[in-house]
Every structure is written in structure tokens, then in C-alpha cells.
Amino acid sequence: MKWFDAGVNLLDGRFNAEEVIARSVDAGVDKLCAITTEPAEWDAARALHIRFPEHVVYTIGCHPHNAKVMTDDDFVRLEDYLGGEGVVAVGECGLDFNRDFSPRDVQERVFRRQLQIAVKHQMPVYLHERDAHALQLRCLDEDAAGVKGIAHCFTGQTTDMQAYLQRGLHIGITGWVCDPKRGEALREAVKSLPLEKLIVETDAPYLFPKHHRPRARNNEPAFLPSIGCYLSDLLEISAEDIAQTSYANTCRLFNIAG
């Protein structure tokens, strides 16, 4: 049974990427999408793909937390990267009005520009959103109508999920769904998620699945099968079906061979 972790912060300083990838492959998670969140990470992500081409693909983009660092030259670089081997999406991009690490107007400007670049290059978008759902939808409708993409690390309610589904997006499910308290709304939403739109991811080193044993300090791609098995019980379908469906959906979204 093969798994594809569609979202891991592989460049996080808590990780030794080589060791994390090795443990991932041993656990049956043979493909990883390394998320980038700012221009300073782009070269390192490319280097990981070059080193582990069979296992690592990556995104190119700027997280809303880091929107304030993006320059015009960075947008030019971003476009240059998009033709490169292993690049599968624009992002992680979006809006985060929960922490406001970058001014909201700057977040919106940087997000819209990334959406426009994704449309220009016919690339999927890799979306982040916190406390900005209505504006996020408006940006998508105005700047990227019909674009493919994933609502990465979705934690919202059924109505929020349906809004993304109506725009043709995939839904990224993490270990949040396993959280006894915080995951209640997401568990209810997932029950009405069409399987052809389901993508499983870890967002490691964050969101350790709380039911997993033994416990660990950091989440890892190797724990993705635990999330899949939890979803298997929740949706009453086999873990193998979860793995195969999510793997195929991720490959289709990212336009890579499965």
C-alpha cells in the first residue's frame, strides 16, 4: 500500500530531511510534496528534489505570513521556477487574518499576484486560509476562476468545504481530523467530502495525529498511514481505498505520473 504525503514542511529546521524521507519510505509513504513558504526556501526545495527525484516534489510560493518579504524580483524568480522539474504548484499562498504577521493589504496583493501567475502558467494553487474565508473566495473568483488547487490543511466546517468544492478544489485532510476536541467540525465535514476530492497530508512537523502511538515530539510523513486509517474508520471504507484514492487524486492534481 503506497501513500503520497501531499504537504510536508520538509525544510523546517526540526527535520533532518534525509532521515525523514528514509523513515517515510520505510512506512510506505513513497512520495512527498515539500511546501515552500518564502523565497529563501526555493533553492533548498529544488536541491531536495534533485537529490531525491523519485520521492520529493515541491511547491513554489509565499505564505501570507511572509507576504511582506516578497519583491518584484521574487515574483520574476517564482515564474522562472515554474517550468522546473519537480515543481507542482504555486504556494503555499493565501490569507491569514488570525496572526497578521504581514499587513492584510499586503497579504491580499501578494496572494492575488500568485493566483494570476498560477493562471498564466496553468499551475495548481496550494492554498492557506485562516479567518479570511470570504475574501479568499473573492480573490479566487476574481483572479483564478476555474484554476485547479488544494485547500491545504483544511480545518473548517461543511459550508466552508462546500464553497471550495464548488470552485473545483481538492480538500487536504491532516491529523487535525484525529483531534478529539478541535476536529469535531472537520470530522462531520469529511463525511460529505466526495472521494475524488480527498487528499491526505500531514503538514508535518505540525499537527501530530493525537491517536497515533507511540507519541512523538514532531509529526512526520511516516505517520500519514495513521491518518489514513483513522479516515478509514470514520468513512467506513478500507485504508487501501483511502491510500489509492488520495494518491491518484494528488498525482492528478499535480500532473505527475502515479
What global pTM score does this model have?
0.96
Helix (H, G, I), strand (E, B) or coil at 151: strand
Over residues 176-204, the mean pLDDT reads: 96
CB 91 within 8 A of CB 152: yes
pLDDT bracket for residue 258 (50, 70, 90):
low
Model confidence at 257: pLDDT above 70: yes
- In the chain, the domains with their CATH numbers are 3-254 (3.20.20.140)
Alpha helices in the chain (DSSP H): 17-26, 42-51, 72-81, 104-121, 133-143, 158-166, 184-190, 224-235, 239-254
List, for residues 23-38, the tens digit of each pLDDT value.
999 999 999 999 999 9
In order of 39, 46, 66, 95, the CA distances from 105 in angstroms are 20, 30, 13, 10
179 is in an annotated binding site: no
Q: Is 73 exposed, middle or buried (0-12, 13-18, 19+ CB in 10 A)?
A: exposed
92 is in an annotated binding site: yes
Grid cell at residue 246? 488520495
pLDDT over 70, % of the chain: 100
Over residues 51-74, the mean pLDDT reads: 98
Helix (H, G, I), strand (E, B) or coil at 71: coil
How confident is the model at residue 211, as a pLDDT? 85
How confident is the model at residue 209, as a pLDDT? 87
List, for residues 128-178, the tens digit of each pLDDT value.
999 999 999 999 999 999 999 999 999 999 999 999 999 999 999 999 999
203 is in an annotated binding site: yes
Residue whose C-alpha cell is 523513515: 23
> If you compute the radius of gyration of the chain from its CA atoms, what whole number of angstroms results?
17
Distance CA 105, CA 140 (A): 16
pLDDT bracket for residue 245 (50, 70, 90):
very high
H or E element at residue 199: strand 198-200
Residue at 86: amino acid letter: G
What is the average pLDDT score of the chain? Answer: 96
Model confidence at 215: pLDDT above 90: no
133 is in an annotated binding site: no
pLDDT bracket for residue 117 (50, 70, 90):
very high
How confident is the model at residue 217, as a pLDDT? 85
What does DSSP say about strands 170-173 and 149-151: parallel, antiparallel, or unpaired? parallel
How confident is the model at residue 44, as a pLDDT? 97
How confident is the model at residue 214, as a pLDDT? 82
In order of 7, 25, 96, 235, the CA distances from 1 in angstroms are 19, 11, 36, 18
